[in-house]
Amino acid sequence: MADVLVLGGGLVGTAAAMMLARDGHDVTVLERDAAEPPVSVTEALERWERPGVAQFNQVHYMHARFRHVLDAELSDVRDALIANGGRVYDPIVEFFPPTIDDRSPREGDENYRVVTGRRPMLETVFAGKAADEPRVSVRRGVKVEQLLAGTSAVDSVPHVVGVRTSTGEEIRADLVVDAMGRGSKLTEWLTDMGARPPYEEAEDSGYMYYSQYFRGALPQQLGRPLIEFGSYSILTLPSDNDTWWVLVWGETGDQPLKALRHIDKWTKVVRAIPSKAQWLDGEPVTGMVAMSGIMDRYRRFVVDDKPVVTGLLAVGDAWACTNPSLGRGLSLGMYHAQKLRHLVRSTDGDPAATAVEWDEITERDLTPWYRTQVQMDRARVQAMAADREGREPPAPAPDDIQAQAIGAFFTSINYDPDCFRAFLEVMGCLTTPMELFGRPGLFEKVIAASQGKDPLQPEGPSRQELLEILA
């Protein structure tokens, strides 16, 4: 069995550590933040600070994929989340469209259920379970500053055998896993040790977010959680211990929308949306929580069919990250950690083969999600800008079959039970859109269900009405 070093003690890093430890590996987790996790969820919500996780107190939602991974790999962690107030939420029950006549339950509907909650609750539970894991050692307050190189397994490619900390301590391992999230400095460290830089793409998603969360009896979800209105969007999500989030966002350059940072203005906007107003009927737990400057970023560590490094694998947001508008980050990060466990189980220990295989797995199973998110971000920003400027959003080109199919799909989910369930598969990070439209008969069903039908845009303030509310 191997000694494994996991850099980053967030949810994905801790989950990866527990999975690998349960396969017999000795795992050390190095976490930059020094504060020990509180004993109780209540304490965590009141006083735990995680400066290394910029989005620690922001909106979080765990999709069905997150629960699927826990069911398969860490069922005791799932049970502990529920025992600590994690919300078990069934999208089939909560927002099945009233326009669909066939409301009969189907075999497999349980696949869409989620277990979700706020980040402090989730991290408290994960940290507690990791502390009880015999082969996991979590060291907090340890800042990694450099990678250690050993004998190369591939000519001219550095092989990582550990790290050097800010105190000069050298910690060695057979495998190093980067789970440091958005703040990962891996590219910089690789350059410092003479490696070729990984292939990288990065762009600002162009959104600014304003949210607040409430406590009380969970409001009814009237229609889809996410609704897009021209130059702004609104999202309502359940959370743990009788709480929920309400999130409104718009384009970063939309100056009038910056008034949403004022709770009275923000409240007026939400109250003006009939299908969302009831989500204000609770006890506010926070003031306004704002966020912007979120990057979509993607890295690939095999370039020209050759790894840029061996002995080190990036997982979750350290590999690729997107804006949080669809809340996929942690769910896909957990999926990535699960893939890592299975790779380590099956590998023969060849560092070069492991690096190449990890790249193949990531490209096949994770990268399509990143590409889809970026495509959706770009289209949404264009639509927001068009509404802000008083013009029609660009229509799909006549030969853009994919864009036309997506438009038809979002209409069909209001009228056909199979299309609606297919939508839940995508939103739950269970099936990529490409896989979905490759399913025999689905495309034809989407076209038939959407033909001549109203897309059912919910009622909400127009651009001019929005400006009047914010003035």
pLDDT of residue 54: 75
* Per-residue pLDDT reduced to its tens digit, 216-234: 999 999 988 999 999 999 9
**220 and 199: one domain?**
no
Q: Please check whether residue 436 lies inside any domain of the structure.
A: no
pLDDT of residue 400: 65
User: Residue 212's domain spans which residues?
Assistant: 204-293
**232 and 313: one domain?**
no
**180 and 126: one domain?**
yes
**131 and 240: one domain?**
no
**48 and 182: one domain?**
yes
Domain closes at, from 331, 366, 394: 394
**148 and 280: one domain?**
no
* Per-residue pLDDT reduced to its tens digit, 375-417: 888 888 889 999 999 998 777 766 666 667 778 899 999 999 9
Q: Domain count for the chain, please give it.
A: 2
**229 and 373: one domain?**
no
Identify the CATH number of the domain in which residue 334 sits: 3.50.50.60
**299 and 275: one domain?**
no
The number of C-alpha atoms within 13 Å of 226 and in the hemisphere containing its C-beta is: 12
pLDDT of residue 88: 96
**193 and 227: one domain?**
no
* Residue 51: band (very low, low, confident or very high) from pLDDT cuts 50, 70, 90: confident
* Per-residue pLDDT reduced to its tens digit, 265-321: 999 999 999 999 999 999 999 899 998 877 889 999 999 999 999 999 999 999 999
**361 and 281: one domain?**
no
The span from the CA of 453 to the CA of 458, in Å, is 15
Domain closes at, from 270, 293, 316: 293
Examine the pLDDT at 353 and tell me if it is beyond 90.
yes
**265 and 288: one domain?**
yes
Model-level pTM?
Answer: 0.95
- Going by C-alpha positions, the residue among 138, 195, 139 that lies closest to residue 167 is 139
**122 and 194: one domain?**
yes
Q: Please check whether residue 186 lies inside any domain of the structure.
A: yes
On average, the pLDDT of the chain sits at 93
- What count of other Cβ atoms lies within 10 Å of the Cβ of residue 400? 12
Question: Which tokens is 421 given?
Answer: 């369930």
Q: Bridge partners of 227? A: 234
Q: In sequence order, which residues have a C-beta less than 8 Å from that of residue 209 and are 6 or more positions away?
A: 58, 59, 247, 248, 249, 290, 291, 292, 324
